Amino acid sequence: EVQLVASGGGLVQPGGSLRLSCAASGFTLSSYAMSWVRQAPGKGLEWVSVISSSGDNTYYAASVKGRFTISRDNSKNTLYLQMNSLRAEDTAVYYCAKQSAGNCYSSIDYWGQGTLVTVSS
C-alpha cells in the first residue's frame, strides 16, 4: 500500500524557514517523480514543485521560485521541500504527491495527508 507521510509543518514568522519532509513507503521511490501541492485554508489546489525520479530535473511555481527548493533522498525514501523567506501567503496545507512515472510530466496518482504551514507573527 502506498503511503506518503508529510511532516515538518508548523507556525513560523514571516521571513523564516521550514523544511518539510515526506516519508514514502509501499513503492520504489526512486522510480517515480514526486510533487508538492498546497492548499490555502478554504481555497483550491496550487501546484508548487516537481522533481524527477533521479532528481536531475526540478520545476517550480513562479510564486515560490527562488525561495523553495525541492529535493529527494531515494536511499532514505524521503522527499523534501526547503522553504525560505516565508510569507503570509505561503500559509497552506502542503501535500506531497507521487506521480505515475519517473518524468516530471506524468500525472499525480497518489496524495499524502498533508502538513499545515502557518506563516504569522
Partner 1 sequence: DIVMTQSPDSLAVSLGERATINCKSSQSVLYSSNNKNYLVWYQQKPGQPPKLLVYWASTRESGVPDRFSGSGSGTDFTLTISSLQAEDVAVYYCQQHYSVPFTFGPGTKVDIK
Site mask, partner 1, residues 38-77, x = CB under 8 A? Answer: ------xxxx--x--------xxxx---------------
State the chain's maximal CA–CA distance in angstroms: 40
Q: Report in angstroms how near the CB of residue 64 gets to partner 1 at its nearest.
A: 10
Site mask, partner 1, residues 97-116, x = CB under 8 A? Answer: ---x---xxxxxxxxxxx--
Tell whether residue 25 is a contact of partner 1 (CB under 8 A).
no
Q: What are phi and psi for residue 90, nearest 5 degrees?
A: -85, -5
Choose among 42, 29, 41: nearest CA to 97: 29
Tell whether residue 27 is a contact of partner 1 (CB under 8 A).
no
Distance of CA 2 to the CA centre of its chain: 16
